[in-house]
Chain A
Amino acid sequence: MTEFENAVTEAVERIAKAAGEEDLERLRIEFLGRNSAISQRLSGLASEPKEKRAEIGKAGNQAKQRIGAALEARALELAGARMGKLAEVEAIDVTFPAPPLDRGHIHVLNQVRSEVETILERLGYQVEEGPEIETDWYCFEALNLPKGHASRDLQETFFLAEDESIVLRTHTSSVQIRAMERLRTPPIFVIAPGRVYRRDNLDATHLPYFMQVEGLAVDEGLTVGDLKGTLLYLVQSLFGPERRVRMRPTYFPYTEPSFEFDTLCGRCGGAGCRSCGNQGWLETGGCGMVHPNVLRNGGVDPEKYTGFAWGFGIERMALLKYDVEDLRLFYENDLRFNEQF
């Protein structure tokens, strides 16, 4: 029995009855604080005879440990009780709507462009830029579209020079020759996204300005199959693995053979619906094996290398991805539209 026994007993009893965590904190100060009876007693040891000091000190510390243990035990009990009642005490109405976060948006056309870039960068392509105010040579002549060629009529052109030698590029294919000139030696794998211009009247399905992405691959032994696989990888990455791609032969002066490529309609899965004009397929873009004359104009030997190229409208891709009916919405920037993406 030490002189602290009664104090410990009292403390342990009262701690066991402590009603709450604040109550317990008060008890901790009362029994263990600087002004507690035990602390006072221990700090007054100097007046005790030397031989008793160690004994009292030891007893006092043991008493403190016992009280401390009781405090800890009770604290655990009280915390457990509090946790048990969290659902009643702290419940909020989880159905109350959140206030909107103040946030901005990246425009849907740039979202789609960025997705296309990311997908093709995985295949080793790089982004290549070219001017929009372009020479006739890069836009037409070097692409096997000499003056007077019937296909020039299909791409009604804006001119910026009296002699028609400077144009607003009608397609991003104009970057093909520039890319070959810059990179010189295959392998050349580039994509060229950007704005293009054609003299089309502005309505729900036509704009005099729009955005395209051009892809160009030049290497030894590239095939139509490679072109097909690349488009399939791109379309399925963008729209999902169920979206098949088909290529239909067509004519472009800068590719031979040339194809248009279609994407399986996502709404009807090919059965035909209003969305795809009952075709089951949605026209997506144009593609083909780079014409030997174009390779030659880019400084690449067509006897040694082959290439493929494709191009499509970014607006068109956005239409395929989201059902937007009016192309003008993309350029109007009513934020109620922009914010949906």
Chain B
Amino acid sequence: MRVSYRWLGDFVDLDGLTPQEAASLLTMSGSKVESLLVIDLSAIVVGKVLEQRPHPSSRDPLWIHQVDLGAETRQIIAGAPNARAGTLVPVALPGTVVPSGKQVRDAKIAGEEGRGMMCSAAELLLGEDHSGIMLLAEGKPGQSLGELFPLDAVLDIEVTPNRPDCLGHMGIGRELAAVSGRPMKRDFMPPFIEGEDPPAVDLIKIAIEEPDLCTRFVAAPVTGLRVGPSPAWVQVRLRLAGVRPINNVVDATAYGMLEYGKPTHAFDLRRLRGDELRVRRARDGESLLCLDGQTRRLSAAMLVVADGEGPVAIGGVIGGEASAVQEDTTDVLIESAGWNGVNIRGTSRALGLRTEASARHEKGLAPELALAGARRVTALVREWAGGTVHREWIDLYPRPQEPIRVHVTPEKIDALLGAHVPLTESRAILDRLGFQTRVQDGGDWDVMVPVFRLDVAIPEDVVEEVGRIYGVDRIPPTLPGRRHESWTPAPTSRPQETIRQVLAGAGFAEAVTPALVSSALLEKLGLAGRMRRLLNPMSEELDAMRTSLLPSLLQVARLNQNRGRPQVRLFELARVYLARSQDPSGLADEPLTVAALAHTGGTPAAGREGFLLLKAVTDRLAHALSLPAPAYERATDALFHPGRTAAILLDGAQVGLLGELHPSLGADFDLDGRVVAVQLDLGSLLGAAKPRQVRPLPRFPAVQRDLAVVLPEDQPTAAVQTAIREVAGDLLEQVRAFDEYRSPELGAGVKSLAFALTFRSPERTLTDSEVDQLMDQTRRRLESEFGAKSR
């Protein structure tokens, strides 16, 4: 809402209140001033053009003027030709910044001095015309323009949707009055207008077919008027508020709306067909050529005002072209109606049309406003266009507005705000906002809400009114402190943070990527099985919820590769979204997942190294989260390398996958080299956590032995380790494979594995001979079970 500071002065005394102060008061009481543009023309002076001649040598057509500024005469160059000798023009001298922001400087153009600038209306923010120099109707050379156009300012105010009463200067003026402690200069309801014969009902009949959607209809005819331009000051005000002046009748409806926030419409009475207007649902197939030149197809969900032959307006949204006020119009019908906000919003959305009228009506304006708007606009039409106002206006009011009363106690105000507001102050605040407070026996308040405030209905609303005007700044900050027998205990660990720290500590960079992805991509990767699709996506790139973190991380790896960072290590901890089989269009499963990825070189060895890196990371995660040691089993998955992938198991249950990604996947994402990834389901992981068991430190020394065996290629290391543990028994504290080795000397189809074994007894120092004996037994078992040869 664009508000003129000076216009606010019609409603509240602005004495000693600068535009900046007004803006600050409004912002801090709930009408947020987004921008403030001060229009101060005191530095601009009136000049009288004495002489105008063409520039002799410039390539573009320019004009050289001698301008009388009272105390001196200056030469000023301009491109526009309209400042002829004898005209009065606004002149900005070098050094001045004109309101539009332009700085004026001395200039020399093709050998001719220019010492100032003649301004257009647009440059002075007095209009939109920037094609020529603004010609003044009055003024003396040298006189400050500030005397002709006093200081004004445009406040661009963000009005919250619950306050349509502030979509007009009166509403903002009332806010300013309340917060600055000044009285309102004007009553809400304009005075009754005496009318003349014939009565309005003889000129037109009105019928409402849908009283729930059109709650009131006020119609006031004005006959014998003359359409012409509205007064200059009106046009200036309309322009400041962002409305283009059209003619005195249309401008009166706009002006009334910009005061009261209530849109009205003027029909050309003689262009209405038949003698009755009906407010009814549009019929399928009906259409209307609207005021903006567009023809719109209507539907039965929309409400129209129709004359004897068809729609003449889309109710509360826009009028029809055929019945619009034109230059030859002499008789008009001022319509001011109450409309159902939800219905207006539906119509506006269906038509893709949001007008000044619909933007206000969709918020559900109080029907009481209809009469106020009609009175104000009719008075303005008569004032600016003349004509006769008729008696006995039509006022159909099928759904009268019920007064709102709120019961509130002063204690409630203090208790909710956390500050003591003196009774006199809170009552004065409510009074200035238009509320009537009646103190009942016992001190409770019966608060009558003003008719234009449909947003106030419960005690908390009244508390807000008092609080926001009293000043939130005056409420002392406190922290809650209450007595309770028990509190919900806070968890001491944050496993998600632990995971992030472990992965970051292992050299992985955390990515945060969008959960919205492309359904086509998921389909291509075979990940669309339980995918949830958006019904109204903004683009095909973001039309589904991801079912896996891997594609997102691959995209990040590609972006970094393309920007000169090959071989990144990444992770992400986030939800994936999986449709539930029993209710695929309801809520989804949203398991938290952690995925890590290492982009490595292209050799098989590099891939294996990456695999072991991620395995080490997984093991470390398991330890940090107090999980049992993970087991790894060969596994397959469509996205993973068929020979380099393992299922990760905790206590026998699979919690994730670890492996090199399938080479074709890397190719899909244009990644060089190989990519190894791990993905873990966080719920399964944390479900396996066990309290940490702390072992006492050993009291006897350990005996270390290495064991190297050659055995067939297809024997997994884990199986060999298991066998070693079985044979060596309780005295084996730890066994760890530390080398895997192949060579032509060993022969084809076999590999050499090396293990480090640690023996220890909790009760005594082991002797070499008993360890040797265990090692011999172990070797024999590996020979018999795996066909292993010791090296």
Contact = CB atoms under 8 A, between A and B. Distances in A.
Nearest to B512: A107
Contacts of B513: 331, 333
Contacts of A132: 515, 545, 575, 577, 590
Contacts of A117: 494
B479 A233 contact: yes
A269 interface: no
Interface in A258-309: 258-260, 289, 291-292, 306
B500 A106 contact: yes
Contact of A224 (B417, B488, B491, B533): B417
A4 interface: no
B566 to A, nearest CB: 11
Contact of A225 (B475, B533, B538): B475
A95 interface: no
A211 to B, nearest CB: 8
Contact of A166 (B363, B464, B484, B587): B587
Interface in A126-180: 126, 131-135, 148, 150-151, 153-154, 158-162, 166, 168
Interface in B566-622: 568-571, 575, 577, 585-588, 590
A197 to B, nearest CB: 7
A132 B32 CA distance: 31
Interface stretch (A25-33, A47-55, A71-79, A243-251): A243-251
Given A217-B480, A259-B472, A331-B513, A126 B488 contact: yes
Interface in A84-120: 102-107, 109-110, 114, 117
B542 A208 contact: yes
Contacts of A153: 345
A233 B556 CA distance: 37
Nearest to A247: B472
A189 B455 CA distance: 29
A160 B507 contact: no
Contact of B490 (A126, A197, A257, A335): A126
Contacts of A219: 480, 482
Contacts of B162: 251
A37 interface: no
Contacts of A306: 415-416
Q: Which of B363, B503, B556 has the most CB of A within 10 A?
A: B556
Contact of B468 (A126, A159, A249): A249
B81 to A, nearest CB: 39
A325 interface: no
Contacts of B432: none
A107 B30 CA distance: 36
B416 to A, nearest CB: 6
A335 B585 contact: no
A221 B461 CA distance: 17
Interface in B486-519: 487-488, 490-491, 494, 497, 500-501, 503-516
24 contacts: A104-B571, A105-B504, A105-B509, A133-B532, A133-B545, A133-B577, A134-B587, A148-B346, A150-B345, A158-B534, A160-B535, A162-B535, A168-B545, A187-B487, A201-B538, A208-B516, A223-B416, A223-B419, A224-B467, A225-B478, A232-B477, A249-B29, A259-B472, A334-B560
A39 interface: no
Interface in A293-341: 306, 330-336, 338-339
Nearest to B573: A110
Given A250-B32, A256-B458, A104 B575 contact: no
B460 A256 contact: yes
Contacts of B475: 223-225, 228
A10 interface: no
Contacts of A102: 507
B560 A335 contact: yes
Interface of B: 27-30, 32, 160-163, 341-342, 345-346, 362-363, 415-419, 455, 458, 460-461, 463-464, 467-468, 472-473, 475-480, 482, 484, 487-488, 490-491, 494, 497, 500-501, 503-516, 532-538, 542, 545, 556, 559-560, 563, 565, 568-571, 575, 577, 585-588, 590
Contacts of B587: 131, 133-135, 166
A150 B340 CA distance: 12
A306 B463 CA distance: 13
A246 B536 contact: no
A120 B542 CA distance: 34
A133 B534 CA distance: 10
Contact of B534 (A110, A168, A183, A221): A168
Interface string A202-233: 00000011000000010111111110111011
Interface secondary structure of A, over-half rule: mixed
Contact of A107 (B488, B510, B575): B510
Contacts of B537: 158
Interface residues of A, number: 78
A181 interface: no
Nearest to A210: B514
Contact of B536 (A199, A209, A229, A230): A199
A251 B559 CA distance: 42
A241 to B, nearest CB: 13
A81 interface: no
Contacts of B487: 124, 187
Given A105-B510, A256-B461, 8 more contacts: A110-B500, A158-B537, A222-B480, A223-B475, A224-B467, A230-B480, A258-B464, A260-B32
Given A104-B507, A109-B512, A291-B460, A225 B563 contact: no
A123 interface: yes
A248 B27 contact: yes
Nearest to B545: A133
Contact of A159 (B416, B535, B575): B535
A104 B163 contact: no
Contacts of B512: 107, 109-110, 330-331, 333
A69 B111 CA distance: 104
B416 A224 contact: yes
A38 to B, nearest CB: 36
A335 B509 contact: yes
Given A168-B534, A257-B467, A249 B577 contact: no
Nearest to B161: A150
B415 A221 contact: yes
Nearest to B555: A333
A154 B162 CA distance: 13
B504 A106 contact: yes
A158 to B, nearest CB: 5
A225 B585 contact: no
B509 A338 contact: yes
Contacts of A131: 587-588, 590
A104 B535 contact: no
Contacts of A333: 509, 511-513, 556, 559-560, 570
B175 to A, nearest CB: 10
Contacts of B418: 223-226, 228
A335 to B, nearest CB: 5
A249 B26 CA distance: 10
Nearest to A187: B484
A121 interface: yes
B538 A133 contact: no
A238 to B, nearest CB: 16
A110 B514 CA distance: 14
A65 to B, nearest CB: 35
A329 B491 CA distance: 33
Contacts of B341: 150
A232 B473 CA distance: 12
A246 to B, nearest CB: 7
A166 B584 CA distance: 11
A64 interface: no
Nearest to B590: A131
Nearest to B553: A333
A195 interface: yes
A123 B490 CA distance: 11
